[in-house]
Structure 1
Amino acid sequence: DSPWGVGFPGWHLECSTIARETLGDSIDIHAGGIDHIPVHHTNEIAQSESLTGKQFSQIWLHNNHIKVDGRKMSKSLGNIITLEDIISRGFSPMAFKLAILSKHYQTEGNFTWEILEAAQARLNHWRDYAVLRHQTHDTLEDDDDKDEQDDSVSLLAGRQALVEKLNDDLDTPGALALIDEIFSKLDHTPLDKIHRQSLVQFIDEIDEILGLDLAESTPDITDDLKRLIIQRRQARAEKNWEESDRIRDELLQAGVAVRDTPSGSIWTWK
């Protein structure tokens, strides 16, 4: 019983109380599903603002739902997919994160294994760019070359452009497309023309904002493996293709793939 009649504390009151206890009378950002707008969040606002007389939340982020193969995810349908399920199929949790980020938070999402495969391929591609930081230098071979300087400027400008995309109502699809565009420019840039520090800063910015662990997941190779790459380069210069192939296979056994380009050999993790 209460002075106003029979009732019981609901989860609306619980959330208002926890928010006020941990964050204060007014909070910056409150997130939740779109289904919470008409009841739960409306009740939170009414309770909190009646008590404090202050605006409860400055910003509301209401995310849409994710379906599985076009159907609602539910236990009754038996189509709930856990992170353990994803990992057991050989996918990285970061690929799942990338798949989620590829849709705007207000747009209804749809999970399929094909979408996750595409996200994993995209993640692997970005990791291939991330390992280039171990194969580049802080000083360009020709600092007067405008094209190469433009590539470095593009990487640096990309950091700010990435923030601007997310400042636009968390436009994560736009941010991912921007990263694709900037990385694609490196495809046409010789290795010795890529400015290492600019690339490192751009990768760090991606990791800090999107949490994809590109740097952590792409460590440098060992000195022994580097020596093998140098030996293979020498074998190719001498047109000793048999030795070159032997070293390539040895590197593959160690989890390192080598790709030959006009500007030299580039290694990536397999």
Structure 2
Amino acid sequence: MPELPDVEGFRRVLDRAAGHRIERVDVLDSGVLRGVTADALRDALTGQTFATPKRHGKWLVAPVRSGRRHRQAEPSVVFHFGMTGALAWVDGNEERHRHDRVVIITTSRELRYRDLRKLHGLRLAPDDDHVADLLGELGPDAAGLGEAELGKRLEVTRRRLKPALMDQTVVAGLGNLLADEILWRARIHPERGTQDLTDADRGRLHRNLRTVLKRSSRAGRVPGWDTWLTGHRDDRDGSCPRCGTTLRRARVGGRSTVWCPNCQRD
């Protein structure tokens, strides 16, 4: 599933499309449209231009502008990538992928939204107030979260740590892979209670959250590097890349969870 680093990568893709006049919108599969018809999407975008995109957690906002800059009363396309969504900025002569669902044709290239499972997709917010309403229940973006605020938001939830980290109303942007990686680096068991964290725990958690997000966002994905826990999640009888202990697996908060029983003692 795309997590914050993946969506940051898609933001960079979308940024390359910003400033190019939209000539046509081909809706190849309206199953990815949420709350907007194909005709309404075409009417809102054709002849307009995307302004600089913005990301919040796993959501990506593409403001539309008719003049030199986006105005508050102008619409925005809002992307949520679900399990399998992605954006590609390609030459118009490139053969279309079988999972391309919406193609936005500009004066130079094409922005293609592709999605295998179609669990989420595209929304059209008529103005900035509607964007704020759509994102209003999300917690602060994980990439800009300070240590004190992280500790406060976790403490008031009073539940197991991993599900709290993945709750988008607590912290926006963290998914299954990121949560496991951050907790492994911070040497904290995923089932620790949020109210039981010490000041030292919260400090390590925040430092490693920032490190993991910085490095993975630079890569545009959650990497499966050999020195990362993510590089060993799918190994049969995988071992901890830090101490060599055989990794443990269980479901925590309904999600498949991997941790090191030596580094992350309960």
Q: Same fold (TM over 0.5)?
A: no
Structure 2 length as normaliser, TM-score?
Answer: 0.24
Larger Rg: 1
Q: Which is bigger in relative contact order (C-alpha 8 A, separation at least 6)?
A: 2
Structure 1 length as normaliser, TM-score?
Answer: 0.23
Would you tell me which structure has more helix in proportion to its own residues? 1
Would you tell me which structure has more strand in proportion to its own residues? 2
